[in-house]
Amino acid sequence: MARLTPEQIAHFQSEGYVVVKGLFNAARDLEPVRLEYEGVLDRLATELEAKGTAASRYADLPFSERLIRLCQDSKRVLQQHFDFALPNQNIKADTPMWVGPAVFNLLHNPGLLDAVESLIGPEIYSNPVQHIRLKLPEDRAVRDVNGKILDGVTAWHQDNGVVLPEADETNMLTIWFPLWDAPVESGCLQVMPRSKERGLRDHCPLPGGLSIPQKLLELGHATPVPLQQGDALFMHRLTCHASLPNRSKNVRWSFDLRYNPIGQATGRGAFPGFVARSRAHPETELHDAKKWADMWHETRRTLAQMEQPKPWNRWDAKAEVCA
């Protein structure tokens, strides 16, 4: 069992976050995911080379360097090809995503769910607001015509702020963890301890995503949270957090998962979640990786054929606070 200690729970309740060291076993829990993504990258490299948008498959290079070269050649951010969720807008029938069995198994990881249970109880729903993050080093990142980095640092936000108001009372828990070490120089997350006490703050839509205006933040309280492979950061839905710039030589590779109690709104009801654990009704748990993948594929087909809500959040770029 990987239940959190009373001290860890108290830290989470007081500070709005807690670091759980050694939650995952690198060989048992993370290596299958890495191998699965090696296959995703290899197929993508083959496709890009065939289209003439990449000079090579770079098959002899390690994952990080290979991805960097492919992004540079294609002048594209390729993260969506690896993500296990759809984007928030412009979903098409061929929008890329990856919903493989190793990823599904990680969402179901027993140690992870034990820790989640410590904070939200035994009836656990896998919230579909989930992502993989593949942050390129800033000095080798893809840039637009104006030289601005595409998919650079993640701006300050609260996870409650990126979902719809229907989830404002949902006890949503975020778990962020790297697939390999994430020191400060690689662009780890930074948090604002106790920032949850002020409730939900205004967010402003920006080209790179939602952002809390700096005048609403206590930037002097920002605390970097470097993690080693196997560690995980648990955050309250109202904890303000952002990423630091990746000034390392490698891709910063991380997962961003969310869970909430069964029956509570996910904040993105168009996307498919599932019962990950139920002590009361274990027969409702989903253990079929193919069924999970089929749910996402069907969702993509459905959304591609309909007028999609825009924006998928509550915020207005014309609001006074965004001026």
Closest of 258, 254, 240, 237 to residue 130, by C-alpha: 258
The b-or-e profile of 153-179 (16+ CB within 10 A means b, else e) is bbbbbbbbbbbbeebbebebbbbbbbb
3-class secondary structure, 205: strand
pLDDT, tens digit only, all 323 positions of the chain: 579 999 999 999 999 999 999 999 999 999 999 999 999 999 999 999 999 999 999 999 999 999 999 999 999 999 999 999 999 889 999 999 999 999 999 999 999 999 999 999 999 999 999 999 999 999 999 999 888 998 889 999 999 999 999 999 999 999 999 999 999 999 999 999 999 999 999 999 987 789 999 999 999 999 999 999 999 999 999 999 999 999 999 999 999 999 999 999 999 999 999 999 999 999 999 999 999 999 999 999 999 999 876 667 899 999 999 98
In this prediction the pTM is 0.96
Rounded to 5°, angle at Cα 194 from 193 and 195: 90
Contact yes or no for 27/137 (Cβ under 8 A): no
Torsion sign across C-alpha atoms 48, 88, 231, 252: positive
Distant-in-sequence, close-in-space partners of 84: CB < 8 Å, separation ≥ 6: 97, 98, 99, 100, 103, 130, 131, 132, 296
Stated as kind and residue range, the H or E segment containing 66 is helix 63-74
Domains and CATH numbers, the chain: 6-23+79-322 (2.60.120.620)
